Chain A
């Protein structure tokens, strides 16, 4: 039960910003938005999470709409190494044991 909707695939030119959308229209007030990515043949990697304010770290920025029904993960300067499947997940913070990974968005960064 992933509770999120993402486009199955996207392309982005190397050096440009990659904007990955996610719809989570049924998100509850106590649920956070998390982003993970999985590079081919590796385990998933945590990227960022947020509740309602925009968040930024060394990897990416997370923009959450005011109604919290959608969000966008931004990779400001995509590199070839950012080619991966990106998963958007909603879950209560610090409760529950699992992340429900949906099918994600397969991002291809093109030289």
Chain B
């Protein structure tokens, strides 16, 4: 238990669906991150938030839309995804951006059909 909770743990969605992934941390951290982990590929950083402001967007398609309403919650809104978007989506947090230790959630396993 890292203190970072992601829901749902598993999600199957059609290409025309709209769904959202949720991440929550009550560690008092100011930075939150979304990562994508595809099969047999390294983790890819998608978005970085610091004090609820997006500070980095690594060329992620617009069908992925992050939202950070407060420093404890992070969402990833999904719409019109493609099968190649199927992956493990990981949320992480750290005290500040750039801290040596980031705490990861267990991830949401997303399957797009």
Q: Which residues of chain A have C-beta atoms less than 8 A from B55's C-beta?
A: 97
Cβ proximity bits B60-102 to A, threshold 8 Å, 1 near / 0 not: 0000000000000000000000000000001110001111111
A34/B100 contact (C-beta < 8 A), A97-B48, A101-B43 known: yes
CA distance A34 to B81 in the complex (A): 34
List, in ascending order, chain B residues with CB within 8 A of A43's CB.
2, 4, 90-92, 104-107
Q: Given A43-B2, A43-B90, A101-B43, A32–B48 Cβ distance below 8 Å?
A: no
CB within 8 A of B45: which of A41, A98, A102?
A98
- Considering the chains assembled together, what is the distance between the CA atoms of A46 and B96 in angstroms? 15
Select which of B2, B98, B106 is within 8 A of A97 by beta carbon.
Answer: B98
Chain A interface, >50% SS class: loop
Interface size on B, residues (CB 8 A): 26
* Given A43-B4, A98-B56: A103 and B104 interface contact (C-beta under 8 Å): no
| Set of chain A residues within 8 Å of B96, measured between Cβ atoms | 94
For residue B45, which residues in chain A have a CB less than 8 angstroms away from its CB?
97-100
A95 with B98, Cβ < 8 A, contacts A43-B105, A43-B107 known: yes
B interface with A by C-beta (< 8 Å): 2, 4, 31, 33, 42-43, 45, 48, 55-56, 58, 90-92, 96-107
> What are 5 A-to-B residue pairs whose CB atoms are below 8 Å?
A43-B4, A44-B43, A44-B102, A98-B48, A101-B43
What is A's interface to B at a CB cutoff of 8 Å? 2, 32, 34, 41-46, 49, 92-104
